[in-house]
Structure formats: structure tokens, C-alpha cells
Amino acid sequence: MPGVSLVGSGSACLTAQLTNDALSQRVDTSDDWIATRTGIRQRHIATPQDSLASLATEAARNALAMAEVSATEVDLIVLATSTPDDLFGTACQVQQALGATRAVAFDLTAACSGFVFALVTAAQYIRTGVFKNVVVIGADVLSRWTDWDDRTTCVLFGDGAGAVVLRAAERDRLLGFELCSDGSLNHCLNLAYQPESEVLVGDITVQKGTFAPITMNGREVYKFAVSRVPEVIEKALFRANLTNADIDWLVLHQANQRILDAVADRLGVPAERVVSNMARHGNTSAASIPIAIDEAVRAGKIKAGDVMATAGFGAGLTWGSAIVQWA
């Protein structure tokens, strides 16, 4: 069975920065409140010139360059996003922009767990021998769907895109994984369709409308994350035949520094082994883990052979962990 190797990472560079102080001009909040409760100091916001496709393409292009894989060698592109440019899917626009003419491309939606779910999904195609070179992208522009007058949610989120390249290899570096869903908690975090009925003709009524901005029960999501994330990482480690002591880097979905600290504490991972870019990016949903990986790789922190315990969690509710070794 072919193995899965992670051979490149990339992210998109968003120039517009929204600081906590700037946000305080819009809603009744403060840098101190946001930083103390979440660790966030600023987030990046997509400009009107950016699109989900353009950010995802930039991240993928940078990952392919690091991997030294050309676009025409790519067999599959999986784009994890909850904020597509097109509800029919955005991955094909990325395929076209990259010039990945041989690749099949599709979107995958699992909110803030999207990157981990996409990574594991993509790996199955490699393990079964179907594809050799796969680009996994996590990209979200949550600013489109944030209620900028709701201080309980708008302070948390930012926009971004990150990507990794997976390659078929002799040695399997996806060491273990575990994915979970619990729809009974779906109401805790939503970006829900907001229908408006319109009588079409006679007794036929159609549903039109858009999506309501993000709603969240912050306390419930917090409790869920600090209890379920350590558990799912330990299950994935067990499948990898590893223990907590084997974790070189804890790369969690960047939702809240307090969640990162609590999970690291539960797992006994020292703070210097926890990758965090919360302060600069906020919560970029499906993009947060690949951005964190890319920044740590380019900073020379994550090195060849290092074991990363990644974990995503969020709406659905969904959560999952993948234990991967950097090639």
C-alpha cells in the first residue's frame, strides 16, 4: 500500500489587518478583553479584490513550489471551505487558476475541522493507489458571514488560506487519525440558511434567501473543545502506536489561546511545543492549521521527521485529529 508524505506547505498573504483597537471603534469591546479571553490581537481581512479562489490558489501555488511539484503533476485538489465563492464549489476555479489541468477538484465542508477532514480524505486516494500528488487546501473568508455588530462573535474570526502537498511515498507519514461528528450539538455554531418564502404560482411556494450571519454559543463550544480535543488526539496517537511524549508539535485549530493552553496542559505538551499564531490571525476556520504548519515550517521550527499532532474542531459539531510526520 502506498504511503502518504507531506512534502510542501504554503499560505496566502493578506495585507489588510484589523486590530483589536480598530474593531473597538465598531463594537463595544477592547484590546484587553479580546486578548485576555482569546489571545487574539489582530486578524487579516480579505479585500474586495480577493476571492476565496484567489486566496486558495496563492496558498496552493506556494505549497507546490516548496514541494517542487508542478501544477500539471497534480492529480487531485481538495478545497476545505465553508465560505465558497460559489455554492456549487470553488475548487474547479482553483484548478483552472493553478493550471492543474489533469487534476480533479472538489470542495469539502466541515467548518473548522475542514482541513483535517480533507487531509484524511485525500490520503485515502493515495493509499489506494489512485492518485500520487494531491493538494489539500483550507481556506475561509468568514468576514463575509460575520455579524460585525455582534461583539460575542466578530472579535474571533479572520480570513486566510493555507495548503499542503501530499505525495505517494514508500513510507507512510500519516501515522494515525480519528474523525468525529455530533449533530446533536449542531445548534451551538451555525452559519445557517435563512429562507424567505415566495409564492411561485398557485399553491407552489419556493424558498429563497441567503445565509444568516454566524451564531455561536461560546461557552458550550469552549467546553466541547477542551474535553473532546485531547480525547481525539489521544485516540489518533493510539492508532499511530505513539504516546503524548512523542508529540514534537501540537498544531491545533487556532480558535482561542485558552483552548490551546488547556488542551496542551491535558496532554502534558510543554508550551514551547504548541504552535500558535492566534495573536496575528484569529480564527481562520479551515485555514488555521495549514497556515500554522506553513509558518512553523518556514520559520525552521517544524523539521524533517518531526511528529505533529494536528486537531480541528468546530461547527457540525465536528472534530478530528491527524498525526503526521513532516517529510
219 near ligand COA (CB under 6 A): yes
Instruction: Please say which residue, 67 or 216, places its beta carbon nearer to ligand COA.
Output: 216
Name the residue among 55, 128, 118 with its Cα closest to residue 324. Answer: 118
Shortest distance in whole angstroms from residue 212 CB to ligand COA: 17
Name the residue among 104, 114, 125 with its Cα closest to residue 84. Answer: 114
**Greatest pairwise CA separation for the chain in angstroms:** 67
Shortest distance in whole angstroms from residue 26 CB to ligand COA: 11
Residues 112, 133, 154, 188: which is the catalytic one?
112
Instruction: Please say which residue, 27 or 327, places its beta carbon nearer to ligand COA.
Output: 27
State the number of binding residues for ligand COA (CB under 6 A): 19
Residue of 256, 276, 284, 325 interacting with ligand COA (CB under 6 A): 256
41 near ligand COA (CB under 6 A): no
Shortest distance in whole angstroms from residue 214 CB to ligand COA: 9
Instruction: Check: CB of residue 12 under 8 Å from CB of residue 51.
Output: no
Among 65-73, 172-180, 212-220, 272-280, the segment contacting ligand COA (CB under 6 A): 212-220
In the numeric block, which cell numbers belong to residue 64? 507546490
Instruction: Check: CB of residue 153 under 8 Å from CB of residue 23.
Output: no
Instruction: Please say which residue, 3 or 218, places its beta carbon nearer to ligand COA.
Output: 218
One-character DSSP codes across 228-296 = HHHHHHHHHHHHTT--GGG-SEEEE--S-HHHHHHHHHHHT--GGGB---HHHH-B-GGGHHHHHHHHH
Burial zone of 262 (CB within 10 Å; 0-12 exposed, 13-18 middle, 19+ buried): middle
253 included as an active-site residue = yes
Can you give the binding site for ligand COA, defined by CB under 6 A? 29, 33-34, 37-38, 112, 151-152, 155-156, 216, 218-219, 221-222, 255-256, 283, 314
Question: Known catalytic residues?
Answer: 112, 253, 283
